[in-house]
Structures are given as C-alpha cells and as structure tokens.
Amino acid sequence: MRLVGILTFVFMAALSLSAQDKELEDKVNKLMSELTLEEKVSLCSGRDDWSTEPIERLDIPWIWMADGPHGLRRAPATNKAGYGDQHPATCFPTASALSATWDTDLIYKVGQALGEECQALGVNVLLGPGVNIKRSVLGGRNFEYFTEDPILSGELGAAYINGVQSQGVGTSLKHFVANNVETMRMFMNSDVDTRTLHEIYLTPFEIAVKKAQPWTVMACYNRVQGEYGTQSPYLLTNLLKEEWGFEGIVISDWFAVVDRVAALKAGMHIEMPHVSSVNDEILLKAVQEGELDEAVLDNLVKEILMVVLKAKSLDKEDVDQKEEEHHQFAREVHGQAITLLKNNKIVLPLSKDKYKKIAIIGEFAANPRYQGNGSSEVKPTQLDNVLDIIKKEYGKGVKISYAQGYNLKDDNDFTMIEEAVQLAKESDVALVFAGLPLHYESEGIDRKHIDMPAAHNQLIAEVAKIQNNTVAVLTNGSAVAMPWIEQVPAVLETWLGGQAGAGAVADVLFGTVNPSGKLAETFPVKLADTPAAFDFPGEQGNVLYGERIFVGYRYYDEKQIEPLFPFGHGLSYTTFDYSDIQLSAKKISDKDALVVSLKVKNTGAIAGKETVQLYVSDLESTLQRPEKELKHFVKVELQPGETKEVSFELSGRDFSYYDAKRDMWIAESGSFEVMAAASSRDIRLKAQFELESTQQVPMMVDKYTFAKELWDNTETRELLKEYMPNWINGWVPEGKTMDEANIPGFFMEHPMIKFPYITNNEITHEQVNELIERCKNITYAPSYRTFKEVENVSF
C-alpha cells in the first residue's frame, strides 16, 4: 500500500514538474526574443564573486552560488570573498570522512540538511560535491574528495546531489575532470590515456550526472589531454551533454577560463566569477564578426535562464537554519565515519570498570582540527572539543587528565612529551590525539610527504612504550604513515569530523556508537609504495598518469604490495560472518541482470553495521584488467545474532572495460568472478559465472592489424583465404583443410603492411588496401582472445 502511495506521489510530482518545466520553457523562449545581444553575452559571466548577472529591464533575477561542499561558506554579500567573515553554518565532516560511512542514505540526508541551510541563507547553488579521484596520497584536496574508487565516488556524489536538490537548491559537480593535483593547478596538463580517463576519472561524473542531474557542473582549472577543461568540446558537449544527457549548465571554476570564445564553443555556459568587462567585449566581437555563431550563444543563454528561473521559483521564504538540530545530526554522521583501524587486545571501547584513570593527550583534544584549508572553509555555528565532551558526558566515576603533548604552532617542539609520558604512566589508558595540522592539507598546495609532524609521531611512540593501553586517535583528511604502528594496540581514524565531530569521537571511544567506518582510500606503509609515486605532481606543466587504470587498491593488488591498511578496511566492536553466496544464473549475456545475493550475520554480542563490498574480476580478458574492481556496496545494520540477506544487481557495464581504439565500453565473453568482501584484502565469498556477449564490435582493421587477428575471425579468415591462398596452403599439413593450416606464430605476428613481403607479393600493396576496406564493416562478438600473445612462436 505504502509503495503504491509513494509511486503515485512520484508520478504526480513528475507530471506537475513537467508542466512546470513547460511553463518555464515558454517563459525563457519569450525572454530570448527580447534580449539584446549585449544582454545575452552578459548572462554568460557572473555579476560579481558569487552571483549571476541579472537583467532588471526584463525582470531576470540573479542567483547566489556558494561553497561547499561539507557546509555552506556564504559571504556577507555576493561581492565579498567571504573568507573569515562568512555567515556561520553547520560544518559537517569533510568528504573523506563522509565517504568512510559508505552510506548513500546518510549522505542523501547530509545533502538535505545542506540544502535547508542554503534555503535559510538565500543560496541557490551549493558548489559541490567534488568527485575527483584521489590519485595520489599527496593530493592537497584529498580531504575534500570522496575516494580513490570511481563507483564509490560516483554513488556518494549522486546521493549528495539528490539530497541537496530535494530542497530546491542546485549543486555544482566539480571539478570536471582529471583535476587530481594542486601544484600548478591553473595550467597543469593531465596526461591521461583515454581508457583510464573513462574507466577511472570520468566514471564518477557519469554516475552522478545520470543518477542525479546536478543543476551545474564546474569545469576544472587544468588541461586534460592537452585541452583546457573549460574549452573541451569533447568533454563538455559530446560526453556530458550528448552521451550522458546532462540537462544543466557548465560553470567555470573560479578564474579558470582562458579563451572565452573557445569555452562557449565547447559548451561552457558561465564564466565565474565576474573577471573583467574585457571578456564580455571579446565575446560580443566574436559574435558580431561571425567567429561565434549566435545560435550557439542562444542555446547556452536559454539553458542558463532555465536554471536561473528554476532556482528562483524554488526559493523558499523563512526557512530555519536548524542550527542545533544540524549540529546533532553532524555528530551522528561523524559517528558513522570514524574508522577503527586496529584494536588488538580489545583496548576499545573504553570500559569504566577497566579504566578508572584516563589520560587524554594531545592538543587536538582541546583545540580540534575539523576541516581543511581553502575555499571549503566553513565558519561553524559552534565547535565541540573532545576534552570537554568526555569530561561532561563520560567523565562520571573516572579520572580524566589532560596533557598537551605537542604544540600545534611548532611541529618540532618536543618539550611537552615528557609530561605526557608521565601522565600516561599514571593512568590506566592513554588516548593520544595526533594527526595533521591545518596547514598540511590545503586547496592549492599538495603535500610533499605523508608523515605526521615529528613531535606527534614521537609522542605516540614514547607514550606507547610505557602504557600498554595506548590508543592513537588520528585527525587527518587523508592517508598518513604510522611508523609506530607495531607498538600501538589501537588506532582510531577520526578524519576531519566537522564541528560536532568531537562528540562522535567520544561516543565511539566509549562504545555508545559501534564504529562502522571503512577506508575509502588505501593507507600505504610509505610514499614509495603508492601508485603515482613516480608521476606526482608532474613536471614542466605535465602530469603523466603513468599507473593508468591501476589507481588505489587496483595498484596494490597488481604489484602485490601489502598496504598499511587496505581500501575498504574498518573494524567493529562486533564481528560479522558472510555465507551462502548465490548467483541468479551461471551464464548470462551482457544484456541480462545478474543478481548476487548472500547472507551476513552479526556473530558478536552488540548491534553493529557492516559494509559489504562486491568486487568483480574478469578472469580472462583481451585487455589488461585490474585483479578486481568494486562495483557495488551496501551498509547493513544487524542486531546481535541477526542475519540479513543482501543482494546486488549487476549489469553489462559492471563487466566492461573501455576500449579506447573503438571508443566504447565492451563486455567480453568469458569467465568472471564476483567476490563479497569486508575489505579489498578480506574476501569472504566468491562465485564464478560465464558471460556471453551479444555486443557486436567493429574489427578496426588498419595496415597494422596482424595476421592472427584476421585469422581468428571467421569472416576475415575467408578474406585471407581469398587473397593469399598459396601462402596459407604452404602451412596446411597433408590431407588437412585450409582452416587447419599450421601457420607459425612468427608469421602470425606480421601486420598487413608486411603481407606483400611475407607472401612474396601474392597479395600486393593495392590489394592490402582493398582488403582493409573490405574488413572495415566486419563486426564480431567480443571475447577473450590472445591478440597480445601469439602462441608457439616458432620459425
């Protein structure tokens, strides 16, 4: 009954929405006929720092855009930068913490809360989420991005967008695309091959666009394959609009535009912020002189007006910012993000029976670090700290003592360690709060290493020497090295938890909340182990994506490197058992859905949440593929002893690679394996199936196509038999047919351009060209074939 009700509501909403859209479109068409060329041009750039250009004469309003992503940074006015004097807003955990929740429903709710705050403060478009991939652990904005995995980034991004936009507020999906380095970010060229671009870097944007239709997409500062992101027709028009069906507008990152005319031609709508009137004049001249077709400008302006008018029509009056409610919600969210990395000897949760004297060590406990540096900096409505919260909410019946341990203003001040060690010695348990100070993680600056300040590392090591019950409680927005890991029995990764994070940390430490966060990024032992170690941050304006598709856990798998903590890892105060994996079929086609189901049981004594990760492995592939790739995930809550069945529906795309030669996704016939896992290195269940591809892909024959490829295909084999029968017959054993020819591998490797030479001109160069033409229309069902290796190379 309830479902029917919801469906009817959705259907009615869709109906009325389309009527609204129609009305909007009529209004925009009318405005288009009234706008002068100058006015149209002016609409293609911002009015000032944060607003779009209004046209008072025609009652065209302006809208307010503001950062983003984990809270609202709304300047006092649209023409003020808004650093330091921004309006207070709820600072939620940053994206790297949000991603550790692996919880799309929760991220949707965070989006809703952010949307409410935007409505309360008059903001129409929130500049986020950032779904760029964490290619290197050194990336300065890693705290602001979700993960190293394209599917997880895309799904979380879509949930965030749907949440914000459910409140009548738009989002800006950023930074499109391959914006993975901060060094020289205004001109760095992301030198990434086409397959990798699609499989790793474009996929999160594709998912977010298709599942959530953000009102705007923000084009990046950097160049991609040699072309600025703001002026790439392929990215902004062919892919975003035509292939993915993006219905919104593209805005530039702030000051990202280089060539205004090229940008508009490519499909970029609005230059942000207002840079100079010179830019408008350039555009005007380009239209007047025929360099830019006015019809192109008209299309863009029409789309801009659709977004502006829609945004204004959804403006709500008198919305409450719900400061207190959102503060509590931010605490709840962070409780789901905190990741228990290690808990030997079950040091945690802190039990008051076991620990009467608790030492809280480290300045972060009193002076929290809760977000990153740069444009995303939120002015919180209030700010909690762990020391006060623990004393207030958990301090009854226990002695809580504090030692500063280090000095946040001086990384190399070791003078406070001794006092902290003494306190730890006199206590039953030592909680050492350490991590990365604010200046370590910033927009615009990449990290140079992954170490915490020397004083923090030494503090943890020294305390652990004299106190067996030492817990390292880490505050950082991205991966760090842990040289003391063997000495410390428990490590709690608390990320950058936002303004209410301290309460969540206390809740997890004392067991009010059972930790359920899992790493959305691999923690390496050392920088040299990381995928982009050789190619980051790039040099001479170019960053080579040398590790190709082997980003994050894909790389550690391929290189068989043991990470410090693997992607997907996170412990709980309870335990889970996986069983009974079932596939809906043992053989499918790329058009069928494959349903994978399994059971998860809480085998411990308390309630908890587990994120089940589903990886897919292509066991035999024409192209090189990662050992496994995350395709689906789900977070389930289980009471002690409870079992739940979870299921995932997989489709052709889940099995596909991107073929750069043919510019298409291909799901090849062959054997595949699905793995249900608790982390990328903790595979619990496996099952195999066969895929039979129904796709037909073009042969893509050219003068470098080699003999074996043509011989393996039944249609092209017939052509070879027609053009070079004598040569083939030369390899046919007595009494056998031509199809049974035993052509040596050495000759199978020869490309068509050499056919006249190897066949002693039985086939001429002209005939080779003719053969190429005849092969061009031939298609085949893709399957695993050994194009790369020619077996039995013999002479």
Q: Which CB, 254 or 402, lies closer to ligand BGC? A: 254
Please give the structure tokens belonging to residue 138: 């050194």
Distance between CA atoms of residues 298 and 296, nearest Å:
5
State the CB neighbour count (10 A cutoff) for residue 789.
9
CB of 355 to ligand BGC, least distance (A): 43
Distance between CA atoms of residues 234 and 632, nearest Å:
29
Q: Which CB, 171 or 375, lies closer to ligand BGC? A: 375
User: Look-up: residue for tokens 């006249």?
Assistant: 756
Neighbouring residues of 201: CB distance < 8 A, sequence distance ≥ 6: 132, 133, 150, 177, 178, 180, 190, 192
Q: Please give the angle made by the CA atoms of 638, 642 and 648, to the nearest 5 degrees.
A: 65
- Positions in 224-253 near ligand BGC (CB under 6 A): 253
Structural contact between residues 78 and 122, judged by C-beta atoms closer than 8 angstroms: no
- Positions in 363-402 near ligand BGC (CB under 6 A): 375
Q: Which CB, 127 or 164, lies closer to ligand BGC? A: 127
CB of 713 to ligand BGC, least distance (A): 49
Residue from 604, 607, 564, 361 nearest 469 by CA: 361
CB of 144 to ligand BGC, least distance (A): 8
Residue from 31, 63, 52, 23 nearest 168 by CA: 63
Q: Which CB, 482 or 543, lies closer to ligand BGC? A: 543
CB of 377 to ligand BGC, least distance (A): 10
CB of 617 to ligand BGC, least distance (A): 36
- Positions in 151-170 near ligand BGC (CB under 6 A): none
Distance between CA atoms of residues 250 and 203, nearest Å:
18
Q: Is 253 designated active site? A: yes
Q: Please give the angle made by the CA atoms of 531, 135 and 208, to the nearest 5 degrees.
A: 140
Q: Which CB, 185 or 631, lies closer to ligand BGC? A: 185
Structural contact between residues 778 and 715, judged by C-beta atoms closer than 8 angstroms: yes
Structural contact between residues 99 and 69, judged by C-beta atoms closer than 8 angstroms: no
Entry field: residues in the chain: 795
CB of 235 to ligand BGC, least distance (A): 17
Pairing of strands 594-602, 643-650: antiparallel
Site string for ligand BGC, 455-484 (x = CB under 6 A): ------------------------------
CB of 539 to ligand BGC, least distance (A): 22
Burial zone of 461 (CB within 10 Å; 0-12 exposed, 13-18 middle, 19+ buried): middle
Residues 387-401: b if buried by 16+ CB within 10 A, e if exposed: bebbeeebbeebeee
Residue from 559, 635, 469 nearest 106 by CA: 635
Structural contact between residues 441 and 447, judged by C-beta atoms closer than 8 angstroms: yes
Site string for ligand BGC, 593-632 (x = CB under 6 A): ----------------------------------------
Q: Which CB, 67 or 709, lies closer to ligand BGC? A: 67
CB of 37 to ligand BGC, least distance (A): 29
Judged by CB under 6 A, the number of residues near ligand BGC is: 7
End-to-end CA distance of the chain: 74
State the CB neighbour count (10 A cutoff) for residue 529.
18
Distance between CA atoms of residues 688 and 654, nearest Å:
14
CB of 435 to ligand BGC, least distance (A): 23
Pairing of strands 189-191, 223-224: parallel
Structural contact between residues 269 and 44, judged by C-beta atoms closer than 8 angstroms: yes
Backbone φ, ψ for residue 551 (5° rounding):
-100, 145
Structural contact between residues 402 and 387, judged by C-beta atoms closer than 8 angstroms: yes
Distance between CA atoms of residues 781 and 310, nearest Å:
46
Q: Does 174 bind ligand BGC (CB under 6 A)?
A: yes
Distance between CA atoms of residues 542 and 605, nearest Å:
54
CB of 85 to ligand BGC, least distance (A): 14
- Residue choice 31, 52, 55, 67 for contact with ligand BGC (CB under 6 A): 67
Choice among 49, 103, 253, 590 that is catalytic: 253
Q: Does 446 bind ligand BGC (CB under 6 A)?
A: no
Q: Tell me the CA distances in angstroms from 534 to 431, 524, 543, 544, 551, one per residue in order.
A: 36, 15, 10, 9, 13
CB of 97 to ligand BGC, least distance (A): 18
- Residue choice 254, 545, 576, 727 for contact with ligand BGC (CB under 6 A): 254
CB of 53 to ligand BGC, least distance (A): 17
Structural contact between residues 562 and 524, judged by C-beta atoms closer than 8 angstroms: no
Max Cα separation, the chain? Answer: 96
Q: Which CB, 110 or 251, lies closer to ligand BGC? A: 251
- Residue choice 75, 127, 159, 532 for contact with ligand BGC (CB under 6 A): 127
Q: Where are the alpha helices (DSSP H) in 606-713?
A: 707-712
Q: Which residue is nearest to ligand BGC (CB)?
A: 375
Give the 3-state DSSP-derived string for 679-719, with helices as H, strands as E and coil as C: ECCEEEEEEEEEEECCCCEECCCCCCCEHHHHHHCHHHHHH
130 DSSP 8-state letter: B
User: What residues act catalytically?
Assistant: 253
Binding site for ligand BGC (CB under 6 A): 67-68, 127, 174, 253-254, 375
